[in-house]
Chains A and B, each alone.
Chain A
C-alpha cells in the first residue's frame, strides 16, 4: 500500500488512510501542535511548564515533541511557548523488592536525555509524598493546601520510633496487602493518586503553571473504563479533558497527545527513533502481585480475579479495539461529551487525590447498601398505614468519617487499608487532615482517641446490645426457612 499523501511505501494504516514514515511523523506532530492553538485555551503562554515522564512510549513521545516544538518556535523566531521546561519522573522503586540496578542506570540516561534538550530533570521519590509542598519532611499524608487548623492537628500524637517517610510509605502499601479485601486494584489506584500528587507538587514548587501529561487515546479509553468501574465517573471529564485547571492552584493540566491511538504512538516512536526506558516505565507491572495482561491478550483465558481493574480495563480495551477497530475513538469521543458538574467552582476536594467531591456522594454507597441490622427499620405494627409514600425516607446512617474526606473512588483506599483510623485520626501515620468539625462525631481531637466504642466506630458494626434488641424486634417478620 502507498502513502495517501506522497505515494511512498506505507508504514501504517490508521483512521482509514495509509502513511509513510515521514508523512505519519508530520501528521502526528501537526496534531500535537494544533492542541496548543485551541480557542479559549487556559494554557498559560510564556511561562514555565512541567512535563510528566514515565519513560514509556507515550510520555517519551511527548517529551520528544516538546523538544521539537520548542526548537521550532525558536527557529521561527517567535515568542517561546514556555519560558522553561521541568521534566518530572516519579520514582517508586522504593516499593520494589527486586534489584534496582537497571532502574538506576536508566534514570541516569533519562537525566542525560532531558539535559541534552536544555530542560531541567527532577527525580522525585515516592516517599516524598510524606512531605508538604514546601519540601519540609513530615510524617503525615496531609493534603497539599490543607488549612492551618489541619497542620496543627497533624502534630498531635507520636510517630513510632525510627519512623521515616520511607517507612510510612511502605507501611501504607503493605497495609493494603494484608486486609481480606486486598486486591491490587486499590494499591494501583493509590500509587497513581500519589504519583499525580507529586507531579502537581513538583510543578508548583518549580513555578510551573502548566503540567503536560502524555496519555494517548488508548490509555484514555482504558482510564474511562477504569474510572467508570471504580465509581469515579464524576471526575472523568477532568481526568481526560485536553486541559484541566487544578482547583485552588495556579496550574493547568494539559494532555496534547490524547487523540493519538496506541498503534500510532507505537509506530512513530520507531519512525522518529524515540528512546524508551522500559525498566522505569514498567516498574509498576505486577508490583502488587497482580497479573499483567499483554496488550491484546485474551483475558478470558486468564485468572481475572488476580488482575487489577486497571489491567482488566486495559486488556479489555485492547480486545475491543481488535474486535471493533473504531471502538477506542467511539469510547473516547463519547466520554469527551460527558459533563458531570465536576468543574463547578466551590466543590469540596478529596484530601487524597485533590479532585472535586461529588455532592452527596459520601453517603451514596451506604444509602444503597444495608450492612447492619440496626439500619433495618420494620413497622412496629405491620398494618399501620404509611400515609404518604416517600415522606418516610429511610434513615441513612452516618457514613464513616473517612467517607466525608474522600471522593467516592478514594473511599476504596480507606476501606481496604488494614487501619482505617490512620487516615482520619490526627497524629496517626497517614493522617489526611480535614475540617475539625468532622472529628467531633467520633474522635476527641485532644486525645486523638475514639469515643470508646472503637470497634463499632471503625467497622461500622452496631453495638452488641442493640443487635439483640433489634433481632427481637424483627424476629416475627423474618421469612420461614424450611432448610434449617
Chain B
C-alpha cells in the first residue's frame, strides 16, 4: 500500500498534479482549499463585509469556486456576502442546460442568484449572432458582451467585487497567447490577479473589480476536487468552439505540462515578471521616442458603459449586427 506523502497515515489515492506527490483525498482537500485561502488572503482580494458576486456558469471551475468560496467564507469567517451571478448567452443545448446546474447550486449553497441574458441586454442571443455571422469571430462578440453583461449584472446586485473561475492553466495559456500574437499591452497585465478600470475623466472607479482566486490552482486539480466531492457541475464545452490562436496556445501548454507539470506555475511566474514594473520605462519608449498619452476613459454615448471612444465595443459590435435589423436598446 502506498502511503500518503503528507500525512503518512492514509492510503495515497491520487497523484497531485501540481507537486507530483502521492496523497490521500483528505490531504488533497486540505492543501487545495488552503492554497486558495492563501491566494485570497495574501492578495487581499476582499475586505470584511464586501458583497461578492461569484460568476457562475455551471461549469467545473465556477462550481468549485462557489463551493470553496462558501466553504472558506465560513471556515475562516471572511464576513463576505456571497451571491451568484450568471450570464445567459443564449446557446441552446449548452447554456440552458448549464444554467440548470447553477440553479441547483443556488439551492445547495443557499446563495441568491441573478441571471442576466444577452437577449435581454442586447436583443441578440449567441444563437442569433452565429446564425448571422457564422462561427468564425463569434468569440469576439461573446467576450465583449459577457464582460459588459457581468458588470451590468453586478451593478444590479450592488456588489463590491466579482470573482471568476479563471484557473492557473487559463492564466498561463493567456501569457503564451499574448506572447505569440504580439499583444504586449495584454501580456503586461494578463497575470494580474485583480483587474479594474479605475479612472474616468473625473477619476472615479468605473468597473467593479474582478479577481481570480484560482490563479494558482491547476485545472486538473479543480476537476479532481469536483470529482471526488461529487460536485454538481456541467461538463460540456461551448458549442461555438474556441479561438484558433488560444487553441494553439492551449495545445502547447498541455504538451508542456506533460513534460513538466510545474511549467504552468513557471509560465505564470514569468508572466508576473513581464508585468509593467513601476518606475521602469519600456525599451520601446526610450528617450527620443514620443510617448503616447494615456487614454482617458469616458462613457459610451449610446449605453453609458465605460469607453475610451464615443461608442463602447459592445455598441460598435451591435451596430454591425443591427445593420438591416430592427433597433435594439441596451441596458
Interfacial residues, chain A to chain B (CB-CB below 8 A): 180-181, 183, 185, 224-225, 227-234, 236-237, 299-300, 304-305, 307-309, 312, 316, 320, 323, 327, 330-331, 333-341, 358, 361, 364-365, 367-373, 375-379, 382-390, 392-394, 408, 412, 461, 464, 467-468, 471, 474, 477-479, 481-484
Chain B binding surface, main DSSP class = helix
CB distance from A302 to the nearest CB of B (A): 9
| Chain B residues with CB under 8 A of A467 | 6-8
Interface status of B48 (Cβ within 8 A of chain A): yes
Q: Across the interface, name the chain A residue whose C-beta is closest to B272.
A: A233
* Interface contact B280-A341, CB-CB below 8 Å: yes
* Interface contact A383-B77, CB-CB below 8 Å: yes
Binds A, one of B35-43, B81-89, B99-107: B35-43
Asked if A331 meets B8 with Cβ closer than 8 Å, knowing A383-B77, A483-B228, the reply is no
A309 to B77, CA, bound (A): 43
CB distance from B269 to the nearest CB of A (A): 4
* Interface contact B78-A386, CB-CB below 8 Å: yes
* Interface contact A477-B273, CB-CB below 8 Å: no
Interface status of B267 (Cβ within 8 A of chain A): yes
Asked if A371 meets B179 with Cβ closer than 8 Å, knowing A229-B267, A233-B270, A233-B274, the reply is no
A-B pairs with beta carbons under 8 A, tally: 209
| Chain B residues with CB under 8 A of A230 | 263, 266, 270
A335 to B34, CA, bound (A): 35
* Interface contact B283-A368, CB-CB below 8 Å: no
Binds A, one of B130-138, B249-257, B290-298: B249-257
Binds A, one of B25-33, B109-117, B121-129, B309-317: B25-33
Most buried by A among B26, B31, B41, B230: B26
The 5 closest A-B pairs by CB, nearest first: A233-B270, A231-B266, A390-B44, A330-B182, A233-B273
Contact of A231 among B5, B255, B269 (CB under 8 A): B269
A216 to B18, CA, bound (A): 35
Contact of A228 among B42, B175, B229, B230 (CB under 8 A): B175
| Chain B residues with CB under 8 A of A305 | 258-259
* Interface contact B265-A385, CB-CB below 8 Å: no
Asked if A385 meets B77 with Cβ closer than 8 Å, knowing A341-B280, A373-B30, A467-B7, the reply is yes
| Chain B residues with CB under 8 A of A482 | 230
A379 to B18, CA, bound (A): 25
Contact of B6 among A227, A367, A372, A387 (CB under 8 A): A372
Interface status of B56 (Cβ within 8 A of chain A): no
Beyond known contacts A185-B260, A390-B41, A464-B8: 12 more, CB 8 A cutoff: A225-B179, A300-B251, A312-B255, A331-B179, A331-B182, A368-B265, A369-B216, A386-B78, A386-B79, A390-B42, A394-B34, A394-B41
A471 to B8, CA, bound (A): 10
* Interface contact B7-A393, CB-CB below 8 Å: no
CB distance from B98 to the nearest CB of A (A): 24
Q: Across the interface, name the chain B residue whose C-beta is closest to A230.
A: B266
Q: Across the interface, name the chain B residue whose C-beta is closest to A477.
A: B75
Contact of B180 among A183, A307, A331, A385 (CB under 8 A): A331
CB distance from B196 to the nearest CB of A (A): 17
| Chain B residues with CB under 8 A of A388 | 47-48
Interface status of B204 (Cβ within 8 A of chain A): no
Asked if A365 meets B265 with Cβ closer than 8 Å, knowing A331-B180, A337-B284, the reply is yes
Q: Across the interface, name the chain B residue whose C-beta is closest to A377.
A: B34
* Interface contact B30-A334, CB-CB below 8 Å: no
Most buried by A among B48, B75, B180: B180
* Interface contact B184-A334, CB-CB below 8 Å: yes
Asked if A371 meets B284 with Cβ closer than 8 Å, knowing A304-B255, A309-B263, A338-B274, the reply is no
Interface status of B240 (Cβ within 8 A of chain A): no
Asked if A229 meets B274 with Cβ closer than 8 Å, knowing A336-B283, A388-B48, the reply is no
Most buried by A among B20, B260, B284: B260
* Interface contact A369-B18, CB-CB below 8 Å: yes
* Interface contact A337-B184, CB-CB below 8 Å: yes
| Chain A residues with CB under 8 A of B320 | none
A22 to B277, CA, bound (A): 45
Interface status of B74 (Cβ within 8 A of chain A): yes
Asked if A227 meets B270 with Cβ closer than 8 Å, knowing A341-B280, A386-B77, the reply is yes
Q: Across the interface, name the chain A residue whose C-beta is closest to B27.
A: A373
* Interface contact A229-B266, CB-CB below 8 Å: yes
* 15 contacts across the A-B interface (CB closer than 8 A): A183-B260, A225-B179, A229-B256, A231-B262, A233-B274, A305-B259, A339-B277, A369-B216, A384-B77, A385-B48, A386-B78, A388-B48, A389-B47, A474-B30, A484-B25
Interface status of B202 (Cβ within 8 A of chain A): no
Q: Across the interface, name the chain A residue whose C-beta is closest to B266.
A: A231
A337 to B229, CA, bound (A): 45
Interface status of B65 (Cβ within 8 A of chain A): no
A349 to B285, CA, bound (A): 27
Interface status of B153 (Cβ within 8 A of chain A): no
| Chain B residues with CB under 8 A of A183 | 259-260
* Interface contact A394-B42, CB-CB below 8 Å: yes
| Chain B residues with CB under 8 A of A464 | 8
CB distance from B36 to the nearest CB of A (A): 10
A471 to B19, CA, bound (A): 20
* Interface contact A309-B259, CB-CB below 8 Å: yes
A392 to B20, CA, bound (A): 29
* Interface contact B180-A330, CB-CB below 8 Å: yes
| Chain B residues with CB under 8 A of A383 | 77
Asked if A393 meets B42 with Cβ closer than 8 Å, knowing A361-B269, A385-B79, the reply is yes
Contact with A along B229-250 (1 / 0, CB 8 A): 1100000000000000000100
Interface status of B92 (Cβ within 8 A of chain A): no
| Chain A residues with CB under 8 A of B42 | 367, 390, 393-394
* Interface contact B75-A339, CB-CB below 8 Å: no
* Interface contact B280-A304, CB-CB below 8 Å: no
* Interface contact B180-A299, CB-CB below 8 Å: no
| Chain A residues with CB under 8 A of B269 | 231, 233, 361, 364-365, 408
CB distance from B187 to the nearest CB of A (A): 7
Contact of B265 among A330, A358, A369 (CB under 8 A): A369
Asked if A228 meets B267 with Cβ closer than 8 Å, knowing A316-B252, A337-B184, the reply is yes
* Interface contact A320-B271, CB-CB below 8 Å: no
Q: Across the interface, name the chain B residue whose C-beta is closest to A478.
A: B26
Interface status of B181 (Cβ within 8 A of chain A): yes
CB distance from B228 to the nearest CB of A (A): 7
| Chain B residues with CB under 8 A of A234 | 270, 273
| Chain A residues with CB under 8 A of B40 | 389
* Interface contact A232-B270, CB-CB below 8 Å: yes
| Chain B residues with CB under 8 A of A308 | 259
| Chain A residues with CB under 8 A of B34 | 370, 375-378, 394
